């Protein structure tokens, strides 16, 4: 009987050690994709508990010690297995840009009201020198590096039409792009940013800025224009008669508003719009 218990304890030790190694590798991958200080501390605590359990199993054949360890291990095993099954992030794209390893990561989001994956950009500059931030969720995206400006961007692509559009630039501060239009051999993007916050919520007061890029989404520069208002949605229209690019905003409770015309004579049409000095 004692021999059977010893064999049982030895078998459980081997199984425990193998699964611990497997989960450690999964954790290291997970931390590499979406690192954070709390996640690092959680991993250290998890590893220490496993080391203590492994030592207890090594020095004791007592069936009570083995039983307690088995209960602890089963609980941790289920928690880790469920985490890996439901929340394990996947790599959307990766590359080395400006001397740092970049990962574009999708992490499952099980919010019933908004189920699209959470998207993170993670940068590893050196050992334990990392940056990881959540960006707006998109689908069909990849990294796009602009060699002219040495900027890392995220583009949304359409394989059927073979088209790509900028959605994000990893700058300081970061830039998000909303609507776009092609005009006079250039591509124009509107970028929206909240400029007034109260207790973590936008007031809302937004700043609209327009970027002029090459058709291949490189070399983006800011037009000497700014519009500040409450509207979040905006759009472009090309006016063939005047050969101008027109910028509109869409109020929640009103008609579409022409804000700015860009061409040979850029000009504003409403309050809050300003043509800046180049």
How much is the average pLDDT of 250-277?
Answer: 92
Task: Dump pLDDT digits (tens) for 167-220.
Answer: 999 998 899 998 899 999 999 999 999 988 888 888 889 999 999 999 999 999
How much is the average pLDDT of 50-54?
Answer: 74
Q: Quick check: 107 pLDDT over 70?
A: yes
Bigger pLDDT: 36 or 5? 36
- Compute the distance between CA of residue 268 and CA of residue 275 in angstroms, rounded to an integer: 7
Strands (E), the chain: 90-97, 100-107, 118-126, 129-135, 141-146, 151-158, 163-169, 175-183, 186-194, 197-198, 201-202, 206-214, 221-222, 225-229, 233-239, 244-250, 257-262, 267-268, 273-275
Tell me the pLDDT band of 114, cut-offs 50, 70 and 90.
low
Q: Reduced to 3 states, what is the DSSP secondary structure of residue 219?
A: coil
Centroid of chain to Cα 130? 14
Task: Dump pLDDT digits (tens) for 126-168.
Answer: 888 999 999 988 889 999 999 999 999 999 998 887 889 999 9
- Compute the distance between CA of residue 217 and CA of residue 144 in angstroms, rounded to an integer: 9
Q: Please, what is the Cα angle at 88 between 166 and 141, to 5 degrees?
A: 15
- Compute the distance between CA of residue 158 and CA of residue 162 in angstroms, rounded to an integer: 6
Q: Which residue has the tokens 């800046």?
A: 276
Structure tokens, 39: 């996640």
Of 183, 180, 176, 119, the closest CA to residue 153 belongs to 176
The model carries a pTM of 0.84
| Contact assessment for residue 153 and residue 138, using Cβ atoms and an 8 Å cutoff | no
Task: End-to-end CA distance of the chain: give it in Å, rounded.
Answer: 89
């Amino acid at each position: 009987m004692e021999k059977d218990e010893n064999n049982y304890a030895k078998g459980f030790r081997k199984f425990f050690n193998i699964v611990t190694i497997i989960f450690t590798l999964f954790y290291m991958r997970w931390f590499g994709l979406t690192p954070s200080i709390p996640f690092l501390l959680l991993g250290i605590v998890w590893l220490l508990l496993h080391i203590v359990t492994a030592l207890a199993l090594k020095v004791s054949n007592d069936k009570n010690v083995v039983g307690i360890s088995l209960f602890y291990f089963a609980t941790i095993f289920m928690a880790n297995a469920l985490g890996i099954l439901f929340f394990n992030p996947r790599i959307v794209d990766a590359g080395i840009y400006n001397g740092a390893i970049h990962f574009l990561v999708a992490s499952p989001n099980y919010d019933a009201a908004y189920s699209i994956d959470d998207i993170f950009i993670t940068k590893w500059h050196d050992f334990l020198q990392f940056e990881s931030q959540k960006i707006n969720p998109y689908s069909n995206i990849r990294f796009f590096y602009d060699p002219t400006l040495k900027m890392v961007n995220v583009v949304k692509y359409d394989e059927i039409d073979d088209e790509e559009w900028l959605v994000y630039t990893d700058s300081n501060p970061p830039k998000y792009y909303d609507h776009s239009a092609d005009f006079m051999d250039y591509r124009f993007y509107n970028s929206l940013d909240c400029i007034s916050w109260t207790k973590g919520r936008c007031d809302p007061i937004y700043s609209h800025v327009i970027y002029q890029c090459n058709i291949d989404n490189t070399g983006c520069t800011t037009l000497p224009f700014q519009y500040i208002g409450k509207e979040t949605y905006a759009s472009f229209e090309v006016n063939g008669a005047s050969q101008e690019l027109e910028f509109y905003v869409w109020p929640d409770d009103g008609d579409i508003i022409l804000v700015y015309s860009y061409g040979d004579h850029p000009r504003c049409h409403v309050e809050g719009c300003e043509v800046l000095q180049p």
